[in-house]
């Protein structure tokens, strides 16, 4: 009888993790497609990378402004991407890279506004 009760409890918790598992799997799939699209477009994975959570992509890394905007355009076209937050730093703007901070601020832009499902942006 105790085993039956334990199995019922385990079944309830398994249902909770299944929803989370599906979301994680979907994010991994979108992440692979987004990083693949960046690689196909000629971006070095060590410089610009796409990280995904619930369909929202955060572009991270370091590139010049033109490259960062091109990466945003490339990733925005990937199926499953709901929004892109471009957090790519301008090259040379990071004091960690050994350069003095440039006058330009990091490029922080949101793509996807005006697309279906993004009416509140």
Q: Does domain 2-111 have CATH number 3.30.365.10?
A: no
pLDDT of amino acid 111:
59
Q: What is the mean pLDDT of residues 81-96?
A: 79
CA dihedral 62, 120, 77, 93 (to 10 degrees): -10
If you write DSSP's letter for every residue of 43-78 in order, what string do you get?
--TTTEEEEEETTEEEEEEEE-HHHHHHHHHHHHTS
For 44-81, write each residue's pLDDT tens digit. Answer: 888 999 999 999 999 999 999 999 999 999 999 999 99
Q: What is the mean pLDDT of residues 17-29?
A: 86
Name the residue ranges covered by the structural domains of the chain. 2-111
């Amino acid at each position: 009888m105790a085993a039956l009760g334990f199995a019922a409890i385990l079944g309830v918790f398994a249902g909770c993790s299944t929803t989370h598992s599906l979301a994680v799997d979907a994010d991994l799939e979108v992440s692979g497609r987004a990083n693949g699209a960046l690689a196909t477009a000629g971006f070095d994975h060590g410089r610009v990378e796409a990280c995904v959570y619930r369909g929202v992509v955060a572009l991270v890394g370091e590139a010049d402004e033109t490259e960062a905007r091109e990466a945003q355009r490339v990733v925005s076209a990937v199926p499953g991407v709901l929004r892109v937050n471009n957090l790519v730093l301008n090259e040379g703007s990071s004091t960690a890279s050994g350069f003095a901070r440039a006058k330009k601020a990091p490029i922080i832009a949101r793509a996807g506004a005006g697309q279906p499902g993004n009416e509140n942006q």
